Amino acid sequence: MKFHIVFVTADEYLAKYVSKKKTGIIPRDVSRHGCFGGPKSTVSVSSYLVPPNGNAPDLRTFLTPVMYTADGIVLVCDDVLENVVDSLKDAMFCAPITRGYEGMTLHNYLNRFLSRVLKNFSAFAVKFADGKYQKVLLLPLNNFSAPDLNELRNAFSALAGENQFSDTLTTLLARLRDRQRPKSSDDYPNTYLLDDRRHFYVYGPERHAKADTKSPPHSFRCKINGFFRFGLRYDEARHFNVSLENRREHISGNFIDCHDASRHVHPCSHVDLFPNGFF
């Protein structure tokens, strides 16, 4: 697997340090274990220097080749620049770095910081590789109505660099898996994830379509969310089938699409809903 660690920073010293050291900044206890230590794993490290005005108009251009070549992306960003990467937090494993390095040398700070972040990413990768967890982690974030899913989304945003990340992830995944059940009226042995709107989600095995990502109307965010979830690539040709409990009833109503627009679905047997929200 190909992993890419990207630093987005306005700190010129940090950007130069990362560009010089490259994979040498990865702590040894991480590089030899977990997803980064696999025999077929490769890691690339790069930095994007944000101009003094705080705008990063060409960040998407910088990230495009990474999006097409990486299997996993960890994005490290200055804590004061999180607004620059806010739209990427559902697609990438984002961790804020503290300006000032908490009073340490940059070498010592990065060693401690990256050890936590990359171990957390590896713990997540183990869960993601397991189908019973992956279908939960890929639920359409703006459509599956459940406070547990909102908490999961917030955990990736707020805890990627914290010691409690792994335990929090395990707890929230267990709570979401408690929503699994069959349909009482279904003769097929399918297990569905039930949201608070009484919509039944099943991650279909069929690979007969892909989410549309052409611009316009789609944005870079639509596209990258169609490839990655929280930093790991998924199969963009698979989607969820969303239906009601009784197969004789047709589902309808408003759904949020991949560019956050509410669209009405007219009565139909089921909705083909991709993880990024495209339908």
Tokens of 9: 């920073």
CB 192 within 8 A of CB 202: yes
- For residue 172, which of 190, 191, 159, 181 has the smallest C-alpha distance? 159
User: According to the model, what pLDDT value does residue 57 have?
Assistant: 80
pLDDT given for residue 241 in this prediction: 96
Cα–Cα–Cα angle for 22, 23, 29, nearest 5°?
A: 145
pTM given for the model: 0.95
Q: How far apart are CA 76 and CA 106, in angstroms?
A: 14
Q: Regarding beta strands 2-9 and 42-49, do their DSSP bridges make them parallel or antiparallel, or are they unpaired?
A: parallel
* First-to-last C-alpha distance (Å) of the chain: 29
Beta strands in 56-155 (DSSP E): 72-78, 93-97
The pLDDT > 70 percentage for the chain reads 99
Residue with tokens 């990865």: 26
What pLDDT was estimated at residue 54? 78
**pLDDT mean across residues, the chain:** 95
Q: Residues with Cβ < 8 Å from 11, sequence gap 6 or more? A: 78, 99
Span 212-246, pLDDT tens digits? 988 888 999 999 999 999 999 999 999 999 999 99
Strands in 15-85 per DSSP E: 42-49, 72-78
Q: Residue 227 carries which side chain, given as an amino acid letter?
A: F
CA distance 72 to 81: 22
SS3 of 192, please? strand
Express each pLDDT in 115-153 by its tens digit: 999 999 999 999 999 999 999 999 999 999 999 999 999
Instruction: Compute the average pLDDT of residues 15-31.
Output: 95
Q: Which of 57, 58, 89 is nearest to 75 (CA)?
A: 89
- In percent, the amount of the chain with pLDDT more than 90 equals 84
Q: What is the pLDDT of residues 175-189, one digit of tens each?
A: 999 999 999 876 667
**CA pair distance 1, 66, nearest whole angstrom:** 13
Residue 68 scores a pLDDT above 90: yes
**Is the torsion defined by CA of 141, 121, 22, 18 positive or negative?**
positive
Whether 33 has a pLDDT exceeding 90, the answer reads no
Q: What pLDDT was estimated at residue 217? A: 87
Q: Which domains, and CATH codes, for the chain? A: 2-120 (3.40.50), 132-176 (no CATH)
